[in-house]
Each structure stands twice: as structure tokens, then as C-alpha cells.
Structure 1
Amino acid sequence: MGRIPALPRRAGSASGIRVRLAGTVIDSPRADRAATVTIAVLAVAFALFFVLPLAGLIVRAIEEESTWSLLKEPQVRQALGLSLWTSTVTVALTVVFGTPVAYILARGRFPGRAFLDALIDLPIVLPPTVAGVALLTAFGRRGIIGEPIEAWTGYAFSFTTTAVVMAQLLVAAPFYVRAAKSGFESMDPQVERVAYTLGASRVRTFFRITVPQAWPALLAGFVLCWARSMGELGATLIFAGNLEGKTQTMPLAIISAFEGSSLGLAGAIALSLILLVVAFLVLVVFRMAGRWARWT
């Protein structure tokens, strides 16, 4: 039998940090513990970076005696009502127009498909302020589309409630389309082909087989789109403005509170608390949709 080579003496080997056996470095339990502690400290510090601001918002809302009374203020109620209304309209339009687009991207093979796919993803990575400027140059009073429409009909898109919906639609719709496309792609196309061979029309197959199968992904996209619409700020501010009772959504009302409106800091905290609750509910629904998808 071959002789086992003697372990060479190395600096630090006596303390149990590491040893070298047949040319291989073996870390000791002490090194493993040090690495584990380091990773744990970094993870906790990173988690606290997210937890502390939310905790501070909740604590400050509880401490401020006027927080709950400000929720009844007309400006807060108008901003909340407008946000709920425009977000709901945005999601409805997204479902009607975005679902066919998502299905075509998932099933179709046609020239320009990759370009269309990338174009729909673009608003996700595009700064919202840039989206607002783009809307203004296209549909504003002097835009390439907005100016002739106003000259013909007398209606201007910019700085109206319609502009709020358009801004939310441009920024939030891609989240639904992306989720819906993933849901359609996860389905076996053979199921649809079997339905066709049994005499079902494409429309009937889509609503009776395709949509129920992709429903968890559609629901997740629906919720993400609605939440993104509720929190939209940059594009709305540039294209629709910050007109109280007309275009002032909840994020814009928070901006106004810091700029000297009657709501003040307490009003900004109250509005932020509402959006925090909405975000939490969205997260719950999103997780439930994910579990539903795994069960089905």
C-alpha cells in the first residue's frame, strides 16, 4: 500500500482554520461558522433595510392623532376615489385588449413577433417620466395625434381624467400582458387541438378551455396591473397634471401634501398607509394565485 503523506505544518493549521491533505484545502468547522454568521448578518441587515421604513410609516401613523381623521378629508377621498376608478378602467381595458395580444404572442409565429414582444416590455424598464413625455408629444394639444384630433373634435386628451387612464395604461398594461403570455405558454397546445377536432370553435375553445387553464396567471397579471396603476406617478404628473378632483390620484396627493397643501405630513402618511394596505392585499392575492397555479 502507498504511504500516506505527512501533513505539512502551515501557519494557522494548529488553530484549526484549515489543513491541506493530498493537495486539497479542507476548511474547518470554525471557518464554516464564520461564513454562516457573515451571511446571516448581511441577510438581516438587508431585510431591515426594507422592514424599517414600513415599520416607521406604521408607527408614525399610529402616533399621529390626525391620521385617521384626515382619511375623511375631501381631498383624500377624491384622490382615493379617482385612483380606484381610473385603475379599474385601466385594468378593464388591459384585459379586453391585452389578452388577445398575449395569446397571439404565446401561440403565433409571424414576422415582427420578437419586435412586438420587446415593444410591450419596453414600458416596464422605461422611466415613467419618459413615458409621460412620450404621451404628451403624441396625444398632447400639440402632439402628432392630439393636435389634429382636437382640431377636428375640440377634445384635448392632456390634463384630463382620460389622460390619467392613458398614462396608467401605458405603464401598467405590460405587467398583465407578460403574465398572461406566460400562462398561455405554460399550457399544452394539444389540449386546444383536441377541442378543435371535436368540433369546438376557436372562440369557444378559448373561453371554455384556454382561459380556465391560464386563469391563475391571468389573475396574477390582473392584480399586478391594478396595483401598478394605483401607484403610477411620473407619467400621470407630466401628461395629466396634478389637478385636485380631476387628475390628482393618491400618489399625486402625497406629492401635494409635501408641497404645502392643507393635508401636510399627516395627510401624506395617511395616504401612504392606504397604498401600503393595497400593496399588502395585492401581495396576498398574488401569492394565492401562485399556489392555485401549482394546485391546478
Structure 2
Amino acid sequence: MQEISINYPEQWKSVNSRAGNLFTSAENTVGVVRLTNADGHLIQFDDGEWGISAEGYRACNLVAGISTITPDTIHLADGREVSNPYIEFDPETGTADKFWSQKITVGMSPSGKPIVSSATVLFDIRVRFVKELMQKIEENRDAGKLCMEGTLTEEELRSGIFMAFQGKLGVYGRHDNIDVIRVIQNLINNKEHGDKIVQTLAWKASIKQQPSMPPTKLKAYNGVADVLVIGYKDTFDESKLHEIATEFQQTGSVAGADVIEETINASEGAIETEDNFLSTKGGPRF
């Protein structure tokens, strides 16, 4: 992290805010955080643009100091109230199949109003596996094929893996293909670390909505970006955070605060490297 001196307002550069203006006071902590691709802070998308990874948000939060709440339970779309995080298992294999998590972050707006941001994330590793395998087959027909399960020969069943996604229609991949092997390795990794992955995704989705955080997409030069982060003074002790979480879970709102709520299916998006989920520096760890 790089410290900067606060000069007169006419010398400030407009950064981060949508209106192009930055306001600060004695109630704020202001810092410039250097994010680098080498340190895992940045992600480069297929279109060449850069975004901030979970590790990057952890680095920014060293300045912002935004609090994180993990509710004990979570409400699923079908009405069930389950533990948070929640894991659903495949009845055929007995292994993890779907993961859910909810994270709530509590920060302040430039006007001093509390901001409560909630993100509930589903991570379905079966869907992710099918999407990854289909992509490899599109790139290399020798990797496998789309087919009905009943059309596979006994030899194909012995030498490959089939995953149905619509009735008997599914995707088949050959075990001896290096691209398929990598997709299967990803499947195994997701089963083993899915609870950490989904919690990190939920935390990232929540904290990036906080106004003290930089924009989700930014300009990076040679894999380096300097972003300005503001930490707003607050009085959220453990008791107050518990009170906020309880009120939000019961009513969907918090008195005197702006609430941002988001539900995300993260099964199809890009996943960051495992190191970001198992790291031990700079922020919440799950």
C-alpha cells in the first residue's frame, strides 16, 4: 500500500466516483492501493479489460475497513432455510454437487449513511463441468461429443465420462484427452473446495457494491493499477453488526441504512485461482 499526502481540494484528481468528484474529510481514511496482476489482485477478461479479484478487494479493504457478516442461516429460492454456507450432495455419488453462501458487508456512504450490501451466491459444479466440457469439445472434436446417453457404446462408457444436463441428453468426454483431464481436475477441485469458493464469491459480490471500493473494471498498465480507496469512520461493534444482520434477515431492510441485495448464479462465470480462496492475508478467510 502506498501512502499519499492530502493537498488542497483544487489539487485533487477526480477518481472512482461516478460523478467524477471525490470528497473527503477528517472522518475519512484515504489511501492509494497498488493492485498487480503478479500478486493476484487483478483479472484480465477475454475482451482485454481488467477487473479486481477477491485478493484485490482484500488489499483494498486494508484501507476501507469494511465489516463482514456471515448469517447462521440462508433462505433458498425454494423457501428452505438452511445452514450458511449450505452444501447439497449428489445422491448417486455422495459427493458435493451444489454450494450456497450469503455474505453481508457493512460500510458507509460519503454522506455518512450506513450501506448494507448482501450477496447470495449459488455455485453448481455440475453445471460448471458441463459448460467447461462443452467448450473444450467445441474447440477440439476429439475431446468428446454431445449425445444421448443410450447411444454410447460399452467401450465409450469405459473410456470416458458422460454428464446429462437435459433428460438423457448430455456431454461425453474422453479420458485420454488432455483437455478433458483438465476439466475433470477442475471438477474434483470444485468438489473439494466448493465451500471456500462460494463464500469468497459471495464476499466479493457483496463488498464490490460498497461505495468506498474502486470500480469493478479499471485501466491497468503492464498488469498494474493504482486505485484510491476511502475508509469512512463508523461505530459498528460486534453487537451492532449482529443487530444489523438480524434486522436485515427478518425484514429485508435496515433502519437508517441503504440496502443493496443481490442473488447470483456463479456456475457459469470465470473462477479465480484456488490461491485466492485459501490465502491468509488481507481480509476474511473461509
Between structures 1 and 2, the one with greater helix share: 1
Between structures 1 and 2, the one with greater strand share: 2
TM-score (norm 1): 0.24
Higher relative contact order (CA 8 A, sep 6+): 2
Larger radius of gyration: 1
